[in-house]
Structure 1
C-alpha cells in the first residue's frame, strides 16, 4: 500500500476510533448510571446489564461477532472493514472505561433529581460519537448490520428496519425500568438523532437558489460581482409560453440568503425563486478537500 493510500485509510480510521470512544463514554457515564436506555443492539447490552449485571463490553463483543461474520459473508469485505473497526473500538473503550470507573479513576454522572440533564448530555455524547463514526464510513455494528442484510435480501428500508428494532428494544425495557425513564430515553434518542444528522450532513451547509427569470444573466452578473459566488446559467423553455429562458443556479451560505433575495427582487420583481437546503457543500468558497 502506498503512503498516500495508507494516509487516506488512517484519516478514516482515526475518527471512527475517536467516535466509538465518545459513544462508549456517553453510554457508561450518562446512560447506565441513570438507568436510561439506548436503541439497537447496544440497547440489548444495556438491558443485559440491568437484568443480569453482564458487562456491556462483553455482551457487545458476543452479540456483534456473529453479526459481523454474517455481514462479512453476505455484504462483503469492503463494506464491513470499517464496521469491524467500529465494533473493535467500541468494545475496547467500553472495557477501558469500565475498568477506569471500577478503579475510581472516572466518576459517573448519576442523579436522582435532574434526569433531563442526564438525558440531554447523553444525547449529545452518543449522537456526536455515532455521527463521527457514520460520517467516516464506519458503524458500531449491531442493528446496522441487520438492517443492511434485510435491505439486501428483501429491499426493506434500512431506516424503517432500525426504527422497528429501536422501538422493540426500548419498549421491552419497560420490564426493567420505569416509564418515566423510558420517556427520558426518548429525549436522549431525539437529541442523538439530530446530532447524527447534523454531523453526517456536514457543518458546511447552505442554500441553493434556482432563479427563473427573463433577466437571469443580469442577476448572475450581480451575484458574482457582489457576493463572489459562482452562478450556472441553464437554458430552458417555458412550457406554457414556449419562450426560451435561462435559469440561474447558485449555492450561497446562510448569511447570504437575504442578499441574494434582494438582488433578485431589485432586478426582476417577477422572478420565480426556489430555495433548497443543501448539505456538506464542497468546492471554492465552501470546503475544499485536500
Structure 2
C-alpha cells in the first residue's frame, strides 16, 4: 500500500511538473517526456497522448527483449502518468521568470521521480531503450541513457531556442539533485578520517566535548612503514569546524580527510557525551575497541 501511494504521488508530481511548470514556460525535458514536449511546442500535439502512445510502443517492444518483471514495473506508471498529464495539460500559466519555472519544474520532477524509484518502479522512456540495447548489443545502460537524453535536450535548440534549452538543463540538474537527496537522505553529515599519533587523546576529547563516537582503525604508511591508529568519525555538517578545531588543539599536524555522506543509520556515532566517555575509558585498555 505504501509503495502504491509513492507511485501515485510520484507520478502526479512528475505530471504537474510537466504541465504546470514546464509546458507554459517552454521548458523541455529528457527522454520520452522531452520528445512529447518538443512535439507540443512544434506542432501542438497533446503531450499526454504522445507520451501514452510512445510508452505503449516501447513496452510492446520491451516484452521481446527484457525480463517480464522489468516490464510489469512500468505498466502502472505509464498509463497513470499519461492520464495525469492529459488531465492537467491545459491548467498551466506562464511565469514571468522562466528561470524560476525551470528550477521548480526540476525540483518537483526530481521529488516525483525519487518517490517512484523508492517504490521500486520507473517511468520507463529512454531507460527502456537503453536496456534493450544492453541486452542486444551489450551497451552500457547509464551511458546509453545519458546519450539519448542529451540528444533530445540538444534537439530542443531547434524548437525552443538555445536560451530555453539552457533553462531545460538547469531544470534537469535541479531534478537530479532533488531526487538524489530524496533517495539518499536530507540530513547531510561529514565522515572524517583522522590520522595522528595522538588519536586516543583526540578521540577522548571528541567524545567528551562533542558527544560523538568514533572508531579506531589500524594502518601503516607506505612510505615510512610506521603503524598508526586512524580515527573514523561521523558528525553533522554544522559541527565539522568544531571537530577540526579540537583536532588542531591536540595535534596541529594531524592528517584529516573529510567525506560527504547523506545517510547514516545504526551504530553509536551520535552517542551522548556520558556514554561516549565511558566507552573511551574502556577502549583505552584495548586499542581495537570501537568508541
Greater shift in the superposed pair: 205-214 or 175-184 = 175-184
Query: TM-score by structure 2 length?
Result: 0.80
1:193 aligns with 2:176: yes
Q: Distance in 2 between matches of 1:75 and 1:223?
A: 53
Using the TM superposition, give the Cα deviation of residue 90 of structure 1 relative to its aligned residue in structure 2, in angstroms: 1.4
CA separation of 1:243 and 1:20: change in aligned 2, threshold 3 A: same
C-alpha distance after superposition, 1:47-96 (max 9, x if no partner): 23234433222222221123334445544344444433332431232233
| Number of equivalences | 270
Q: Residue in 1 aligned with 2:221?
A: 238
Give 1:13-162 correspondences, 5 Å limit. 13-71=4-62, 74-98=65-89, 101=90, 107-111=91-95, 113-162=96-145
Is the CA contact 1:208–1:275 (under 8 Å) kept in the aligned structure 2?
A: yes
CA separation of 1:66 and 1:225: change in aligned 2, threshold 3 A: farther
Is the CA contact 1:13–1:82 (under 8 Å) kept in the aligned structure 2?
A: no
CA RMSD after TM alignment: 2.7
Q: Residue in 1 aligned with 2:201?
A: 218
Is the CA contact 1:17–1:85 (under 8 Å) kept in the aligned structure 2?
A: no
Query: TM-score by structure 1 length?
Result: 0.81
Greater shift in the superposed pair: 207-216 or 58-67 = 58-67
Q: Residue in 2 aligned with 1:182?
A: 165
* Secondary structure at the counterpart of residue 177 of structure 1: helix
Partner of residue 165 from structure 1, selected from 148, 155, 174: 148
Q: Residue in 1 aligned with 2:2?
A: 11
> Considering only CA atoms, is the larger Rg found in Structure 1 or Structure 2?
2
Partner of residue 278 from structure 1, selected from 261, 264, 283: 261
Q: Distance in 1 between matches of 2:73 and 2:225?
A: 52
Gaps in structure 2 of 5+ consecutive residues = 271-291
Q: Distance in 2 between matches of 1:275 and 1:133?
A: 32
Is the CA contact 1:34–1:118 (under 8 Å) kept in the aligned structure 2?
A: yes
* Secondary structure at the counterpart of residue 156 of structure 2: helix
Using the TM superposition, give the Cα deviation of residue 30 of structure 1 relative to its aligned residue in structure 2, in angstroms: 1.6
CA separation of 1:178 and 1:237: change in aligned 2, threshold 3 A: closer
* Secondary structure at the counterpart of residue 29 of structure 2: coil
Greater shift in the superposed pair: 36-45 or 80-89 = 80-89
Is the CA contact 2:192–2:233 (under 8 Å) kept in the aligned structure 1?
A: yes
Is the CA contact 1:13–1:85 (under 8 Å) kept in the aligned structure 2?
A: no
* Secondary structure at the counterpart of residue 182 of structure 1: helix
